[in-house]
């Protein structure tokens, strides 16, 4: 059954419905963004793709009642993050590719956290160690582009 609804906050949805609620299909936001995928209780749920307005980026993956769970977010610049999410923030294990750098490791509430490896995809430069609030925390080893190496230990 096809249906079109206008939920609170504007926009419109087209998809399948049961019990008077949209449970899958496409939602067009007033700002130009779109969501295509599963719905439950009026929220993105299951697998879906959300595209931001005016090419601001896209997320494809699993959703749990309106929040990203596990998937890939791609920015217009080509940078991307593939991994876990919690409450709309990168959280858990994930890989971020940004410019010439790749970070593989843990994320805490949107920041690189606890332990991870950041390495260049154009040279031998690499940091492997601890992170706090998105920054290298000092416990780890750093390899420079010229293959020089430094071990960092605080304490």
14-49 pLDDT, tens digit per residue, is: 665 556 666 788 988 889 999 999 988 888 999 999
* Residue 24 pLDDT: 81
Q: Which of 32, 52, 78 is the last residue of a domain?
A: 78
**Domain-located, residue 10:** no
Rounded to two decimals, the pTM is 0.82
Lowest mean pLDDT among 11-15, 75-79, 125-129: 11-15
Mean of the per-residue pLDDT values for the chain? 86
User: Within this chain, do residues 74 and 100 fall inside the same structural domain, yes or no?
Assistant: no
**Domain-located, residue 4:** no
DSSP the chain: -EEEE--TTS-EEEEEEETTEEEEEEEE-TTS-EEEEEEETTEEEEEEEEE-GGG--EEEEEEETTEEEEEEEE-TTS-EEEEEEETTEEEEEEEEEETTEEEEEEEETTEEEEEEEEEESSSS-EEEEEEETTEEEEEEEEE-TTS-EEEE---
Query: Does the pLDDT value for residue 5 go beyond 50?
Result: no
User: Within this chain, do residues 107 and 149 fall inside the same structural domain, yes or no?
Assistant: yes
**Domain-located, residue 62:** yes
Q: 39: domain range?
A: 24-78
């Amino acid at each position: 059954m096809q249906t079109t609804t206008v939920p609170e906050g504007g926009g419109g949805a087209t998809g399948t419905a049961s019990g008077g609620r949209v449970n899958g299909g496409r939602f067009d936001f007033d700002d130009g963004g779109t969501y295509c995928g599963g719905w439950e209780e009026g929220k993105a749920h299951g697998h879906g793709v959300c595209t931001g307005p005016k090419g601001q980026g896209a997320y494809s993956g699993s959703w749990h009642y309106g929040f990203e769970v596990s998937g890939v977010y791609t920015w217009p610049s080509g940078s991307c993050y593939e991994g876990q999410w919690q409450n709309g923030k990168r959280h858990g294990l994930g890989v971020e590719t940004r410019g010439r750098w790749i970070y593989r490791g843990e994320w805490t509430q949107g920041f690189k956290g606890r332990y991870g490896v950041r390495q260049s995809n154009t040279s031998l430069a690499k940091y492997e160690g601890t992170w706090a609030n998105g920054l290298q925390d000092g416990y780890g080893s750093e390899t420079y582009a010229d293959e020089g190496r430094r071990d960092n230990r605080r304490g």
